[in-house]
Amino acid sequence: MAGELLDNRGRGDVAWSFPPIHPEGRKFGLIAVGISLIFLLLLDWEIVGWPLLMLSAGVFAFFRDPERVVPHSEGAIVAPADGLVSLIAQVEPPEELKIDDGSGIEGLAAGPVTRVSIFMSVFDVHINRAPIGGVIRRLVYIPGKFLNADLDKASEENERQHILIERADGVRLGFTQIAGLVARRIVPFVKEGDTVGSGQRVGLIRFGSRVDVYLPAGTDSSVLLGQRVIAGETVLAEMGVAKHIEGIAQ
């Protein structure tokens, strides 16, 4: 199915399959399995070995990397992460995405924009994807704390990585990968100057975290607070569309 064009008229061919494990996670899963077998086969400590073996399955599941069908709509901004929309607020973009970094490439404009925060629990897929297609103009890593990623102040105090993407028409969008209580490493798959497609994998955060998306000015969120979104598939917003949307939790 990878790379196959699918549409809403039935074109294409799909079939369910187990999601593959990302290479970044295979070593952790194999280490966990190895330790489990030592306790089970060599030490005969079943009370420790079996729980560790189940934990090994959890490690593999954490690093699962399912294929996603990315909507190819010109104005679509897709969710960069699986998880819960935990915060939606009008804020100033991070300074790292606004300031002149000496490269000659403009950052985001000053002024409040809509920030959509997606919280990923340890049960969510942790592969992050590009919200739009374009060129990676900035990739800024900032060491910091490991507060609960669900807190608003995590955007400014936690370990994080800012990414700025510029479309071919000059529209720029920034988003931030934020480490949380359990997460201890942000792993990038891209570098400055790379060209990415909408929904393309750009990195992961190990073991629970959050992603903030700073929508372009004049663009409102198409998702609601408390909604669950799917990376690369859920349309987070439509470029230039600003309207109030309400929903009922039930």
Residues catalogued as catalytic: 209
C-alpha distance across the termini of the chain, in Å: 35
Sequence-ordered list of residues with C-beta below 8 angstroms from that of 65, at least 6 positions apart, any chain: 19, 20, 21, 22, 125, 127, 201
Please give the Cα distance from 207 to 124 (Å, whole number).
9
Torsion on CA atoms 40, 45, 46, 47, rounded to nearest 10: -140
Please give the Cα distance from 131 to 176 (Å, whole number).
11
List, edge to edge, every strand of the sheet that includes 172-179. Answer: 195-196, 134-142, 160-166, 172-179, 209-214, 113-120, 83-91, 228-229
Q: Are 231 and 81 in contact (CB under 8 A)?
A: yes
Tokens of 161: 């990585």
Closest CA to 175 of 226, 44, 188, 71: 188
* Angle formed at CA 188 by CA 87 and CA 108, multiple of 5 degrees: 55
Sequence-ordered list of residues with C-beta below 8 angstroms from that of 243, at least 6 positions apart, any chain: 220
Closest CA to 231 of 94, 91, 130, 145: 130
